[in-house]
Amino acid sequence: MRLLPIKDQIYSILNDIPSTITLVAASKTRTPEEVKEAFEAGLTNMGENYIKEAIEKIEKLSNLEIRWHFIGHLQKNKVKKAVKYFDVIQTVDSVELSALIDKEAKKLNKIMDIMIEINIAKEPQKSGVFPEETMNIVSEIEKFENIKLIGLMTMGPVVQSPEEIRPFFKLAKNLFEQLKPSVPTMQYLSMGMSDSYKVAIEEGSNMIRIGSKIFGPRKYS
């Protein structure tokens, strides 16, 4: 999918979207050198899916001012490391997981920025909170002192054409707008990937997570 060098891909995406949108480079499977190239093109937000792989990169690139987002599925036994190494955990999908994050954050004297992952199409095999459960979970999460809820994240279903995902992005935006008045820290709606970010932005996303359109096709997952 990538036709040009990483930097040119980034410039062309940034040229194409409003400056109010945060572009997170989904850098799973990419080398530290590739991530550095993205940083040098102006990106300061990187998203990683696998804790072990991420920690190696975060340590190698610790001299760069990068905000690291965890965007993979977070297992309970990895919470401690996630809290230590990441700036944002985008994929929180239960009160139980939040409690663990809060506990580890407390130990590090850190306020952990998190987002709630929404399973917007209510797909049985996918992680994430169902839309109708979100309000309750938000009110529970707000009680944790070492957690700051900064937004909602959704993947959306896998579809044939980006147009098919539009109604789900609309639902996510509605949910976001419903929650915002009662959660002053709620700032980001993270939705849209390489093949869907244009539709996502049209429907109100303000944070997109782009992998292959920046770095080229992935060799694995």
Q: Which residues sit at the interface with ligand PLP, rule CB under 6 A?
A: 26, 28, 49, 71, 155, 193-194, 209-213
Task: Residue 116: name the closest of 144, 139, 90, 140 by CA.
Answer: 90
DSSP 111: P
Task: Residue 45: name the closest of 25, 62, 31 by CA.
Answer: 25
In the complex with ligand PLP, which residue's Cβ is closer, 189 or 210?
210
Shortest reach from residue 208's CB to ligand PLP, in Å: 8
In the complex with ligand PLP, which residue's Cβ is closer, 106 or 127?
127
Shortest-Cβ-distance residue relative to ligand PLP: 211
Find the distance separating the first CA and the last CA of the chain, reported in whole Å: 15
In the complex with ligand PLP, which residue's Cβ is closer, 49 or 146?
49
In the complex with ligand PLP, which residue's Cβ is closer, 129 or 155?
155
Angle between helix 51-60 and 32-40 (nearest 10) = 60
Shortest reach from residue 49's CB to ligand PLP, in Å: 5
Shortest reach from residue 141's CB to ligand PLP, in Å: 20
Shortest reach from residue 92's CB to ligand PLP, in Å: 13
Shortest reach from residue 138's CB to ligand PLP, in Å: 20
- Contact assessment for residue 38 and residue 71, using Cβ atoms and an 8 Å cutoff: no
- Contact assessment for residue 156 and residue 196, using Cβ atoms and an 8 Å cutoff: yes
In the complex with ligand PLP, which residue's Cβ is closer, 23 or 144?
23
- Contact assessment for residue 165 and residue 159, using Cβ atoms and an 8 Å cutoff: yes
